[in-house]
Structure 1
Amino acid sequence: MNILELVQQNPQEAIDIVTKAAAAEPDKLDAQQLAAEVCFELGLAEQAYGYLQQTLHLDPDGTKGGYVKFLWLGQLIGGKTGINYYKQGINGLRQQPVEQSGPQIIKGLLGMIDIYMTDLCMEPEAEQVCEKLIAEALLLDDNHAEAWSILGSIRISQIRNDEAKQALEKSWSLFDKALLEAQLDTTSMPALVRLAQSMIELEMADLVLDLTTQATRLDDQVPDLYYLNALAHQQLMAQESDPAELNRHNAAIRDAIELLSQLDESVDPEMAAASNELVASLPPLTEPVLESDDENVEE
């Protein structure tokens, strides 16, 4: 088992191994870079940043240890400095064969878009740059599920909702295929959550139910999935007049929020409060709803 497989199965053991190795050999690039990667993958931003600074000291231009570390720095730092790190990483990766570097280049392009849609959204060139970056990403791979999701986000910001829906539908069809073929792991969860959030914004409730149900099979410890499932049922409930269907969606919302509440330690306080408000706003159940299956969230 390599260290990145261990990250999935026993994160704490993986951290212990790489941090001890990095401490023992502070001038060994491989040790510092591996520690940075493990910490980055586990969301330990401060620790990852510290190791990345050491890798920059040992390999400032990326010619020894590769260019991916610049993408990590871009994501961690954000803003204009983050954009510059992304550019440095992408320019280095472009020197390699595209079949080898393409996925990482796309990751960098999408990371830059994220910064331009958040930290730098008020910059006059933001929209034009995002259009250029997403076009390049899809040119490299027009079956990249997350790229289609990001395109949908861009179109939402432009209030081009019909085009946004088409992009989000395309994204989910690609993610769904990958899920069915067991080609995704838990590192895809943030992208799946963002896709579902965009779908909720456009009231694509049926697809959100499909996504959240499928995604809990990948990882059933993600609070966002249960909350988004509940919001999708709320949207469908608002469109219903049939008493039985209203009751079914009511029960499904309660079930999803109950499952969310069982993940106490990982639930954001704001999400917990919003979930409680959602349940409090519901009418009483008119009759029991029989369980149709054992899924974690209901479609």
Structure 2
Amino acid sequence: MAKTKTKNNSKQKDILRSTSAPLVKSSPKKSQKSIEDLLTEAAELLEQSQPELALPLAEEALQRLEDERRQRDSSQVQDEIDIEELLLLAAQGRPTLPPALVLNAEILVALGDVDPARRNFTLATQIDKDGALISAEPWLWLAQLCEEGGRESIRYFEQACEVLRNEIEVLEDAVNEMTNNPDGEAGTRRVLDEKKSKLADALCAMAEVYMTDLSWETDAEARCETLVTEAVAVCPDDLSAGVLQTLASVRISQERFDEARTALKRSLDIWYKAIPSPEESVANGTSDAEPAPEDDLRKPDFATRVSLTRLLMEVQLEQLALSVLEGLVREDDQSVECWYLGGWCQVLIAQKPDVASETKLKSQRTARTWLENCLRLYRIQDYDDDRLRDHANELVNGLKVELAADGEMDEDGDDGWEDVDEQDDGDDEDEDVDLEIEDDVNGHAASKTSDGDVEMT
């Protein structure tokens, strides 16, 4: 859940300043669908990345839930919402206000309307203080969206962790009571593992806050250690790839690089299939390591895998980083950052003191291809990262010198490189860019060295 830019919109709906205010200002014509159907369809549309279609449905559901509440509670003080009554309604399978508020807020986040989303998340937590109906999600969102960051983020994360720990305790008791119901036990265990994984992620997020916003605090390192230790302990092994990355990041900050390498290799082992030896590659007709399938829960999301490659490069596991990056650019060949990291990674490989001259030259050529793609996409997408651009150009200039010295520049004297600021925009923005990794990058054979590192050949 990354921070989302707020979209300025003077006509933006003002959602629920108090529990007695209408949930939406306008009163659109009611559909014939039930509230349950409206919420289900809105959730499905959000899942399908169609938040603009989901919002009207979610708002109508909120309006109708609010109308029902006002009719039901007409004899009570309007600002009071009885959580026990909501729990009873939920037990009867009827929709309730807090989950609808959370869904509406998630849709607003997807649309970039952060302020009303934050208000709805906050209201949901005020109504359902223990998370009985909404779980930990609103607090996790608020931790990400809060403008103050630092201590305020930690406060939200701690509330989310408390909710998750309570849920885990209940689920563990339920599993222990299901010894004679294997099917029910398996389903409950899956939910339990998901909750444990979410708790571990929240603990890791807190550790990252202490490594960044709160790094100046005297006990920041000790708190990081406590948080990542609990995260590793609580997270199921099959779902712990991201947790182990955070552990590695902490170890790097402590300059405990061997332990960081171990943690990163353990992380990769969870979701990245073992890299075959050259003999196995020939026998199987494959040469690359293969990631887990896209729907495999063990596989971290795209952004987490990009972060993984940076960590691998930081601890001098460039070959592993390159193998992951090749998979990432196959998945999204428009990622400026991935092309940049791949080029930089190849430069680092070429700079190793014991690298063979042939391998060095090959890595430099490949780095040129990756960085050229990076800068082209940077210009076309109007990408906004001056440091990345400047470093990419610095690497390019170094490659120009190296390749010219080896007689590897283009015969016509045009090395194909220009500073991105000096390039003519032309019609690039209207062209489809066909980017491919060269065969000598994708088709490498890989083998493991005696210490477990991957050696590309």
TM-score by structure 1 length?
Answer: 0.84
Corresponding residue to 1:49 among 118, 130, 154? 118
1:22-101 to structure 2, matched below 5 A, reads 22-24=58-60, 25=62, 27=66, 28-38=97-107, 40=109, 48-77=117-146, 78-96=149-167, 97=171, 99=192, 100-101=194-195
Question: Quick check: 2:346–2:363 contact (8 Å CA) kept in 1?
Answer: yes
Corresponding residue to 1:276 among 379, 382, 393? 393
Question: Quick check: 1:73–1:85 contact (8 Å CA) kept in 2?
Answer: yes
Does 2:258 align with 1:162? yes
Query: 2:428 — aligned with what?
Result: none
1:257 positional shift: 1.9
Corresponding letter in the other structure for 2:156? Y
Query: 2:303 — aligned with what?
Result: 190
Does 2:132 align with 1:132? no
Distance 1:266 1:297 in 2: 33
Corresponding letter in the other structure for 1:212? L
Corresponding residue to 1:211 among 316, 319, 324? 324
Does 2:313 align with 1:200? yes
Call closer, same or farther: CA 1:92–1:297 in 2, change over 3 Å. Answer: farther
1:228-267 to structure 2, matched below 5 A, reads 228-239=341-352, 242-260=356-374, 261-262=376-377, 264-265=380-381, 267=383
Task: Give the secondary structure class of the aligned counterpart of 1:171.
Answer: helix
Task: Give the secondary structure class of the aligned counterpart of 1:210.
Answer: helix
Distance 1:44 1:214 in 2: 33
User: Between Structure 1 and Structure 2, how many residues are aligned?
Assistant: 296
Question: Quick check: 1:155–1:164 contact (8 Å CA) kept in 2?
Answer: yes
Call closer, same or farther: CA 1:214–1:59 in 2, change over 3 Å. Answer: same
Call closer, same or farther: CA 1:121–1:82 in 2, change over 3 Å. Answer: same
1:38 positional shift: 4.4
Q: Say what the alpha-carbon RMSD is for the aligned residues.
A: 3.4
1:114-125 to structure 2, matched below 5 A, reads 114-125=208-219
Distance 1:297 1:40 in 2: 42
Corresponding letter in the other structure for 1:175? W
1:60 positional shift: 4.0
Task: Give the secondary structure class of the aligned counterpart of 2:222.
Answer: helix
Alpha-carbon deviations, 1:164-197, whole Å to 9, x = none? 1111111122231493233159971121111111
Distance 1:45 1:220 in 2: 29
Q: Which has the larger radius of gyration?
A: 2
Call closer, same or farther: CA 1:243–1:195 in 2, change over 3 Å. Answer: same
Question: Quick check: 1:18–1:31 contact (8 Å CA) kept in 2?
Answer: no
- Structure 2, unaligned runs of 5 or more: 1-39, 67-96, 173-191, 274-289, 411-436, 446-455
Call closer, same or farther: CA 1:41–1:161 in 2, change over 3 Å. Answer: farther
Distance 2:327 2:302 in 1: 11
Percent identical residues? 27
1:31 positional shift: 3.3
Task: Give the secondary structure class of the aligned counterpart of 2:271.
Answer: helix
Question: Quick check: 2:270–2:298 contact (8 Å CA) kept in 1?
Answer: no
Corresponding residue to 2:51 among 15, 21, 25? 15
Per mean C-alpha deviation after superposition, the further-off stretch among 91-100 and 18-27 is: 18-27
Question: Quick check: 1:106–1:137 contact (8 Å CA) kept in 2?
Answer: yes
Question: Quick check: 2:322–2:342 contact (8 Å CA) kept in 1?
Answer: yes
1:288-299 to structure 2, matched below 5 A, reads 291-292=438-439, 295=442
TM-score by structure 2 length?
Answer: 0.57
1:218 positional shift: 3.4
Call closer, same or farther: CA 1:181–1:202 in 2, change over 3 Å. Answer: same
Alpha-carbon deviations, 1:43-90, whole Å to 9, x = none? 875564344234334434423322221112122333111111111111
Which of the two has greater helix per residue?
1
Call closer, same or farther: CA 1:281–1:226 in 2, change over 3 Å. Answer: same
Question: Quick check: 1:200–1:231 contact (8 Å CA) kept in 2?
Answer: no
